Structure 1
């Protein structure tokens, strides 16, 4: 009879199992793991470079904004100083202009007082000429009279009532002008003094 064909146990025959194929398979995995780790390191380095560039860009913008802020602040300060200078000059030259307008008036008054043995008519003519000089000076400097006529409506912004009397005129109308008022450039220097009607009693 032929011998039975049973599987031979290599361990019993003294042969070790062939594990070469398995070892090759296992040894190939660490190589792939190393490749993955290098990719992660590359991404981290790229991220660090991006963050550094963003930081530099942000710092440059901050420096630019700071410089623009300083320039704007300096410009505002210059505008403020120029405005103060303009106001000071306006006050100075406004006063000079008005004073210059009054100099001829002073000259006329001094000349009138220097003349002796004047007639009443000559004196009156001299006073009228001086008054015209004053009116001209007022006009050049935007000064106007406040002289409400009888029957005008009382205006508390322009008039000051000294008294209120019963009258046939409607209540709140001007009865009499006691003293003229004046404005300069639409600003009240002195209100007109008036008597106001209280209406019929």
Structure 2
């Protein structure tokens, strides 16, 4: 009998010692779960921060492009309104062939100055005689048939086109050669 009470005491002591160990294991497991949850949340926050940084960088680049385009094309309206003036000066030069030499020279000088200022601001003419037809820069007003010329070649220009820094401001009005 003496062995049984000792055995019960040993089992009771083992049970008492097992409870705190189990509680510690449960506490450690709970802390590990919290740690994993915190790591997952940290990873999500890090991803969000990186995404926000990339979005801000993209927005900065987009704003820089838009600012550059605004700077390059700020004078588009002004130069567009000057095109009829250039057309009128050129028409005056063609019509006044036999007029006074001083008037003609003055018109020529004025036109050259105007074209230089426009060119300095990125304006370039599109005068495509004998060039292939380009629907992005030319507007076909009529067609003709000339077997001596290639098909889809510009034969005549009714009105010059204009490009501002690579962007079409006004298409050239042209006659295009067509073959049947």
Count of matched residue pairs: 163
Question: Residues 1-201 of structure 1 correspond to what in structure 2 (within 5 A)?
Answer: 23-58=1-36, 60-61=38-39, 62=41, 65-66=44-45, 69=48, 73=52, 76=55, 80=59, 83-84=62-63, 87=66, 90-91=69-70, 94-95=73-74, 120-150=100-130, 152-168=131-147, 169-199=149-179
State the Cα deviation string for residues 96-130 of structure 1 (Å, max 9, x = none). Answer: 69869x9xxx9xx9xxxxxxxxx933322222222
Which residue does 1:13 correspond to in 2?
none
Which SS does the other structure have where 2:103 is aligned? Answer: helix
Shift of 1:55: 4.8
| 161 and 122 in structure 1: CA distance in 2 versus 1, 3 angstrom threshold | same
User: For structure 1, which runs of at least 5 residues remain unmatched after alignment?
Assistant: 1-22, 110-118
| 158 and 82 in structure 1: CA distance in 2 versus 1, 3 angstrom threshold | closer
Contact 2:72 2:165 in 1 (8 A): no
Shift of 1:31: 1.9
User: For structure 2, which runs of at least 5 residues remain unmatched after alignment?
Assistant: 90-98
TM-score of the two chains, using structure 2 as the length reference: 0.67
Deviates more, 1:83-92 or 1:184-193: 83-92
Deviates more, 1:89-98 or 1:49-58: 89-98
Contact 1:175 1:197 in 2 (8 A): yes
| 98 and 86 in structure 1: CA distance in 2 versus 1, 3 angstrom threshold | same
Report the aligned-residue RMSD: 3.8
Contact 2:76 2:164 in 1 (8 A): no
Instruction: Kindly indicate whether structure 1 or structure 2 has the higher relative contact order, using CA contacts under 8 Å at least 6 residues apart.
Output: 2
